[in-house]
Amino acid sequence: MTTAKDLFIITMQSAVKQSVGQGDLSLALAGAELIDLIGAGTVTLNDDRIVPDGPPTLDDRLAVEAAAGLVLQPPYEQIADWLWRRGRDLSAAYQAALEEDGELTRKRSGGSPFAPRRVELVDTPAHRRAVSRWEEKEPVLCALASVVGIGADRSDDEPGLADEAVTAVVAAVHDAVMELEAVRQRRSIEGAAFANLWRGV
């Protein structure tokens, strides 16, 4: 169960160059958790439904939390519904967990004691593992990162996703992120129209 944590670390590492929306990242993290649950044999997919398939054998507390939130009764939960439900504020939960585990630290951005603190990655085995997967162009990690706009310049000849269930989850994450962007754009347009109304434009 490392894909979600690795995705968060890679996103943090790339944050200097590429800005990632917290909502987008939260949806992608929920997808990564689901992929890890599939890989652990905890769930399978039946079309777009998440079907519990065995007792969770997980050693990560966020993974355990994810497994505990599974819908256990038919007709089970759709992938999209899982992403929106589990993804709510999930990036903040990962940041808090990694800070608690010493994977992230807060440092002041300037010499002043009143300067704001910024979050930085700590060189840990987990950090090195995530970077290794990224440098090796591990397909699942690259696919999820690409959905949130990281690594868009990576080579098109990278290996694709071999697992049908994983492909379905990545596609669902992509659709959810696109839906979230559509909501943002609609709100922006409505906000601009409201402001123009008050200005008499």
Q: Are 147 and 172 spatial neighbours (Cβ–Cβ below 8 Å)?
A: no
Q: Which of the four pLDDT bands, split at 50, 70 and 90, describes residue 70? A: very high
**Which pLDDT tens digit goes with each residue over 5-16?**
999 999 988 765
**Which pLDDT tens digit goes with each residue over 121-151?**
889 998 999 999 999 999 999 999 999 989 7
**Which pLDDT tens digit goes with each residue over 6-45?**
999 999 887 655 567 889 999 999 999 999 999 999 999 9
pLDDT of residue 154: 47
pLDDT of residue 192: 61
* Spatial distance between the Cα atoms of 181 and 184, rounded to a whole number of angstroms: 5
Task: Please tell me the pTM assigned to this model.
Answer: 0.85
DSSP letter for each residue of the chain: --HHHHHHHHHHHHTTTS---HHHHHHHHHHHHHHHHHHTTSEEEETTEEEE-S------HHHHHHHHT---STT-EEHHHHHHHHTTTHHHHHHHHHHHTTSEEEEESSSSTTSPEEEEE---HHHHHHHHHHHTT-HHHHHHHHHTTSSTTS-TTS-----HHHHHHHHHHHHHHHHHHHHHHHHHHHHHHHHHHHHT-
